[in-house]
Structure 1
Amino acid sequence: MWPSRAVRLLLAALLCLWAAGVAAGQDTWILWSGSVRKGEVPVRREAGQTLAAADVMVSSLGLAPRGRNDALVVAFEGKKLEFWVDSPVARLNGALVPLPSPPVQEGDRWWVDAAAALRLFNQFLVSAGRPGDLQWKGVGELPSPAPERAVSPPPSRGATSPSPASASRGTKNVLKGLRWGDQGDALRAVLDLETSEGVEVRNLPGRVEVILPGAVPGGVLLTSPQEDRVKVQATVYGDRTVLAFPHRTSGVRAVTLQKPPRLVLDFRGTGGGGAALSPVPTAASEGERPSAPTAAPEPTGGTERMERVFKGKRPVVALDPGHGGKDPGAMANGLREKDVNLKVGLLLRSILEQYGVDARLTRGDDRYLKLGERTQLANNWNADLFVSLHCNALPAGRHSKGVELYLMALPSDKDAMRLALFENKELGEGGKEGQAASDRRTKLLLQILGDMQQNEKISESTSVAEVLFAAGKQGGLPMKRVAQAPFFVLRGAAMPALLVEMGFLTERDEAALLNQPGYQERIASSLARGIVNYLKR
C-alpha cells in the first residue's frame, strides 16, 4: 500500500533537508562516555574545521544549558563552563581556555570546534568529580577502551590543552597521552609519543619545558595528581606546543625511551619553591647540563659592534611598528607616531640580527595593517616573542613622561584603559558610531578576559616585561612602569606579547628626544638587550 500524499510530501521534504545538510557538510557524530552511548550530536564542516553542536552535547550529558543572548553556560556541582559569541576563548571554572575559532550562534544552536568542545567538556566533568572519558565516534562505531592511569589526577584550575586546530597547522601531533605514576620517592610523568623526533627538553630553575611538534590532542588531560609538587601548563606557539612543568621538587630526571617512544620525567623529593634542577638527560645528550644564561653584551656606540649571541638555532622575534599608512597614530609637537615607531623598529631589527636573532617586521615601510594581521604574521612565523612599538599621548592639560610596558590583561588603572580604547579605535568603522563599536568590543574583551592571570601566556609576558624594564633602566631610559590593558593587537598572539609605549609625544621635550636618531637608537639598543636576555633565559 502506498503512503498518503501528505506522507510522501513529508518524506520528500525530509529528503531535501537531508540532502541540503550533506551538501553543507553536516553530519551526525555519536557522543560516548566510556562504553555508554550518550546521544547523537550534529556536526558540520566549514573552512576546513569541524564544528559540533555544544548545546546538544550539554543535553546529551543530562545537563541543562543556561542560554543567554551572548553566552552558552553549563553549571554542575559548583563548576561552570562558558562559551561566548565572537570570543576566541572559553572560560572553565574561571580560567580562560583558547579556542581555535569563536563559537557560532544560530538561534538556540551553538557551533563549537568539535575537538575543543570534547576536551573542554571532559575537563569540566573531571573538575565536577565525574569521569572525563567522552569520545567522538561515527554512527554505528563503538568507542575504544580508555587507557588506564596509574594515578588519577584531581581537577586542575587553569590546566588546559590547546586544541589541534590552534597549533598543528599541518604539523603532525606527536603527543599521544600523559600518564602519571607514584614511584615512592618520585612523582613520574610519562609522555607517550608518536615519535621522539623534534621533541626538546629544557632545564629551567623550578621548571621543565617540553617542546612538542603539533598540538595536544583533544581528550588529553593536562592535570597533575600532586599539584602542590608539580603542575602542568600548555602554551601554543604556532605549530609547536610547550608543555611546562613548574615544580617544587629537589631534582628532576628526564629520559627519552623508544619502543614505544616516550619521555619519562621523574620529579624527585620536595623542594622549597623552585629548587635548582638536576641534569635532565635525553637520548641525544645523556647527562649534559645546559649552561647558565648570561646577560647579553651591552651595545656601545653603534650597531656594528654587537656580539653574536645565538650561533645555532636562531630565535624568532616579531617586531610590530604600530599604526602606519592611513593610520598615523598619535600626533603632537610636529611628530606622527607611525614614523617614530617605524624608525625604532628598523633599528631594533638591525641590532637583534647582529645578536643572532631572527627579527622580522610586520611592516618595514609606511603601510596600513589591521590589528589581527599583525599577530597573524607572528603566528605564521612561529615567533618566540611579539613586541609592538608605540608612542603615548595624553589629553590637553594632562602630563606624563617615560617608557611604559603593557601586557594584555585586565586594565591596571583608568589611564591604561584610556590608552587601550585609543589603540583599539580602528576596530570601529569610523565616525562616532564606529568609535562606539570599538569601545563596545574593548569592553567585551574585558568581560572575556576574566581571571586572565591563570593564562600561561600572560605569565610569560610578565617575565618579558620585567626583563625589558630592567634593561631599559640599565640603558638609562626613563622607565615609568609595567601595566596591563586589553589591547586587541596583543590578543591574537600565540606567544608572549608586549606593547611598548616609548614616550609621550604630547610632552614637548620628550617628543624632541623621540625625534632624535641617537635617542631612537638608545631605545632600540635597550630593548634589544632586554629581548636577548629574556631569550637566553
Structure 2
Amino acid sequence: MPYSIMVDAGHGGKDPGAVYDGRQEKDDALRLALAVGEILQNNDIDVEYTRTTDVYETPYQKAMEANNAGVDLFISIHRNSFPEDNEAEGVESLVYDLSGLKYQIAQAVNEQLEAVGFVNLGVKARPNLVVLKRTQMPAVLIEAGFINSDSDNELFDANFEAIAQAIAFGILDTLEREGVIRDPGMANSISNGMTNGMAMRNGAGMSGRTQPRQMYRVQVGAFRNRNYAIRLRDELLEQDFPAYLNDSGEFIRVGVGDFDTLGNAVEMERRLKRDGYQTVLITR
C-alpha cells in the first residue's frame, strides 16, 4: 500500500479565515494545498483532500474525514495573522506536542520554507487545536506566512511554486530519512505541466514531439539584500559547491547546480544539509 496523506486547505465556504486588504486565507490555503498535493502525488504518495473547492467543513469533520479514510499523515495548510498589520512575518508549524514524526516533519518544512526566504518562527505545540487533537495519525498545521504582512504576501506570490515544493519536499525528505518511505521521487519527476498528467519517456510526448527537459536546482537562500546573497554564494564556492546567483525576480536567490535528474539534485541537497545549509529543491 502506498503511503497516504490527507491535505487539508484551512477554512472554506462561509469561513474565510483571516482577511487582509481583500485577500482571504481560505483562497491562499486551497491554492497551496492543491499544489502541494500534486507534488506529493507525483512522488508516489496517495493524496486525499478535505476540500478541493470553496466549501465549509468544521475542523472536527475534517479530522473525522482523515480518521475514516485511514490515512497515514494529516497536513493542514493555513496563512497566519497578527492583531497589527505588518508587525509580524514568517512561517511556523503547529503540532499536538513536540515529539515524534509530526515534529520532525514540521521542523523540516519550516527549514525548507526558510530557504525560500521566510523567517522561521519555529514549531509550536497546540494540543487544543481540533485537527491536531482529534486526528488519529501524525498531524501538522502549517502557517505559510502572515496574510496581513505585505512582505510575506509578496514572497508567497513571487515564489508560490517554490513554497509548494518546500512543503512537499520537507515532508518527503523526513519520511525517507525515517525509513517510512523509500527514495521519494527518484523514479518520478515533479509535475511539469504535461496536459495528460502521464509520465513521458525519453522526453517525447504521445505525438512523438520532444518535450522540454525538466531540470532541477538546489536553492540555498533567497534575499532582498544582494550583499547577503553574494556572501552566501562565495562561502559555497569556497567549499567547491557550484553556486551562483539568480536575480531574475524580486528576491536574489542562491542556487547550487543544474541537474537533469531528481536523484542527482537530491544527492546535492543532502550534501548541503550535512554541511549545515538549509535547502529547497527547485524545478524549471
Alignment of 1:1-80 (within 5 A): none
SS of corresponding position for 1:364: coil
1:244-393 correspondence runs (5 A): 313-393=1-81
Match of 1:496 among 128, 138, 142: 138
Deviation string for 1:387-428 (max 9, x for gaps)?
11111111136711111111124xxxxxxxxxxxxxxxxxxx
- Determine if contact 1:321/1:390 at 8 Å carries over to the other structure: yes
Cα distance in 2 for partners of 1:509, 1:472 equals 14
Per-residue CA distance 1:278-324 (angstroms, 9 max, x = gap): xxxxxxxxxxxxxxxxxxxxxxxxxxxxxxxxxxx421011000000
Residue 462 of structure 1: CA displacement? 1.4
Whose helix fraction is larger, Structure 1's or Structure 2's? 2
Listed one character per residue, the Cα deviations across residues 153-201 of structure 1 (whole Å, up to 9, x for unaligned) are xxxxxxxxxxxxxxxxxxxxxxxxxxxxxxxxxxxxxxxxxxxxxxxxx
What per-residue deviation string (whole Å, max 9, x for no partner) do you get for residues 423-454 of structure 1?
A: xxxxxxxxxxxxxxxxxxxxxxxxxxxxxx7x
Task: Report the CA distance between 1:365 and its aligned residue.
Answer: 0.4
Question: Which residue matches 1:419?
Answer: none
Letter paired with 1:462: Y
1:420-459 → structure 2 map (5 Å cutoff) = 458-459=99-100
TM, length-normalised to structure 1: 0.31
Question: Given residue 349 of structure 1, which amino acid in structure 2 is its aligned partner?
Answer: G
**Does the Cα contact within 8 Å between 2:131 and 2:139 map onto a contact in 1?**
no
The 2-side partners of 1:318 and 1:397 are apart by 32
| 1-structure distance, mates of 2:96, 2:107 | 15
Partner of 2:129: 487
**Structure 2 residue aligned with 1:99:** none
Task: Measure, in 2, the Cα distance between the counterparts of 1:399 and 1:462.
Answer: 27
Counterpart residue type for residue 360 of structure 1: E
Q: Does 1:472 align with 2:113?
A: yes
Q: Counterparts of 1:534 and 1:366 in 2: how far apart (Å)? A: 31
Q: Secondary structure at the match of 1:460?
A: helix
Q: Helix, strand or coil: the match of 2:103?
A: helix
8 Å contact kept, 2:3–2:45: yes
Q: Is the 8 A contact 2:89 2:151 kept in 1?
A: no
Matching residue of 2:169: 529
Aligned pairs for 1:190-209 within 5 A: none
Give the drift of 1:381.
2.0
Q: Distance in 2 between matches of 1:361 and 1:350?
A: 11
Q: Please say if residues 333 and 511 of structure 1, whose CA atoms lie closer than 8 Å, have aligned partners that are also in contact.
A: no
> C-alpha separation between the residues in 1 aligned to 2:75 and 2:39?
15
1:68-117 CA distances to partner (integer Å, 9 max, x unpaired)? xxxxxxxxxxxxxxxxxxxxxxxxxxxxxxxxxxxxxxxxxxxxxxxxxx
| Aligned with residue 151 of structure 2, among 509, 513, 518 | 509
Q: Deviations over 1:229-278 (max 9, x none)?
A: xxxxxxxxxxxxxxxxxxxxxxxxxxxxxxxxxxxxxxxxxxxxxxxxxx
Structural RMSD (CA): 1.8
Q: 1:348 to 1:482 in 2, by over 3 A?
A: same
**1:465 maps to amino acid:** A
Q: Distance in 2 between matches of 1:513 and 1:397?
A: 16
- For 1:388 and 1:373, locate their aligned partners in 2 and report how far apart those are by CA, in whole Å: 13
Q: Give the deviation of 1:474 after TM superposition.
A: 4.0
Structure 2: distance between partners of 1:380 and 1:533: 26
Contact residue 86 and residue 149 of structure 2 kept, 8 A: no
Instruction: Tell me: higher relative CO, structure 1 or 2? Use CA pairs within 8 A at least 6 residues apart.
Output: 2
More strand by share: 1
Give the secondary structure class of the aligned counterpart of 1:468: helix
Q: Which residue of the partner structure matches residue 407 of structure 1?
A: 95
Give the secondary structure class of the aligned counterpart of 1:325. coil
SS of alignment partner, residue 83 of structure 2? coil
User: How far apart, in 2, do the equivalents of 1:478 and 1:347 lie?
Assistant: 22
Distance 2:41 2:86 in 1: 39
Q: CA deviation at 1:460?
A: 2.9
1:492 alignment partner AA: R
Aligned-pair identity (%) = 32
**Structure 1 counterpart SS, 2:32:** helix
Structure ID, larger Rg: 1
Corresponding letter in the other structure for 1:509: S
Q: Is the partner of 2:159 in helix, strand or coil?
A: helix
Q: What amino acid maps onto 1:526 in structure 2?
A: A
- Which amino acid in structure 1 is aligned with residue 169 of structure 2? R
Contact 1:403 1:480 in 2 (8 A): yes
Q: Deviations over 1:180-233 (max 9, x none)?
A: xxxxxxxxxxxxxxxxxxxxxxxxxxxxxxxxxxxxxxxxxxxxxxxxxxxxxx
Measured in 1, the distance between the counterparts of 2:86 and 2:149 equals 9
Instruction: Compute the displacement of 1:500 (Å).
Output: 0.5
SS across alignment from 1:493: coil
The letter for the 1-side match of 2:171 is I
Q: For the residues of structure 1 that align with 2:110 and 2:59, how far apart are their CA atoms?
A: 25
* Cα 1:474/1:507, change in 2 over 3 Å: closer
Contact 1:315 1:535 in 2 (8 A): no
2:142 alignment partner AA: V
**What is the Cα deviation at residue 379 of structure 1?**
1.3
Provide the C-alpha distance between the structure 1 equivalents of 2:84 and 2:108, rounded to a whole number of angstroms.
Answer: 33
Alignment gaps of 5+ in structure 1: 1-312, 410-452
